[in-house]
Structure 1
Amino acid sequence: MTNKEKSDAEIIKELDSIIENGISIDYDTKPKYTVKELSKKLGLSSHTIRFYDKEHLFPFVKRDVSNDERLFSDADWAFGKLIKCLRQIGLSIHDCRLFILDTLIGDDTVKERLLILVNLQASLRKQIHELQEAERDLQYKIRFFSLTCDLLVGPKIQLGGFFHESKGRGSQTRAS
Structure 2
Amino acid sequence: MHSQSETGRVTTLTIAEAAERTGLTAHTLRYYERDGLMLDQVERAASGHRRYSDRDVAWIELITRLRATGMPIRDVRRYAALVREGAGNEAERLALLLSHRELVERKLAEVTAHLRAIDHKIALYESKVEGTA
Range into which the TM-score falls when normalised by the shorter chain: 0.7 to 0.9
Write the letter of the residue equivalent to 2:67. Answer: R
Per the alignment, residue 57 of structure 1 pairs with 37
Which has the higher relative contact order, 1 or 2, with Cα contacts under 8 A spaced 6 or more apart?
Answer: 2
Q: Alignment partner for residue 119 of structure 2, among 139, 144, 148?
A: 139
CA shift digits 1:51-86 (9 cap, x unpaired): 3223222222133463x5322223322321221121
- How many aligned positions are there? 125
Per the alignment, residue 78 of structure 1 pairs with 58
Q: Alignment partner for residue 17 of structure 2, among 32, 37, 47?
A: 37
Identity of aligned residues (%): 27
User: Where does 1:24-173 land on structure 2 (aligned, <5 Å)?
Assistant: 28=1, 32-58=12-38, 59-64=40-45, 66=47, 69-147=49-127, 150=129
Instruction: Give me the whole-angstrom Cα distance separating, in 2, the residues matched to 1:79 and 1:129.
Output: 27
Shift of the 56–105 alpha-carbon distance from structure 1 to 2, 3 Å rule, reads: same
Q: Provide TM-score, normalisation by structure 2.
A: 0.75
Q: Which has the higher helix share?
A: 2
| 1:40, distance to aligned residue in structure 2 (A) | 3.0
| 1:128, distance to aligned residue in structure 2 (A) | 1.4
Instruction: Give me the whole-angstrom Cα distance separating, in 1, the residues matched to 2:51 and 2:72.
Output: 25
Instruction: Give me the whole-angstrom Cα distance separating, in 2, the residues matched to 1:52 and 1:131.
Output: 29
| 1:102, distance to aligned residue in structure 2 (A) | 0.4
SS at match of 1:108: coil
The higher radius of gyration belongs to 1
Alignment gaps of 5+ in structure 1: 1-27, 156-176
Alignment gaps of 5+ in structure 2: 3-9
Q: Provide TM-score, normalisation by structure 1.
A: 0.59
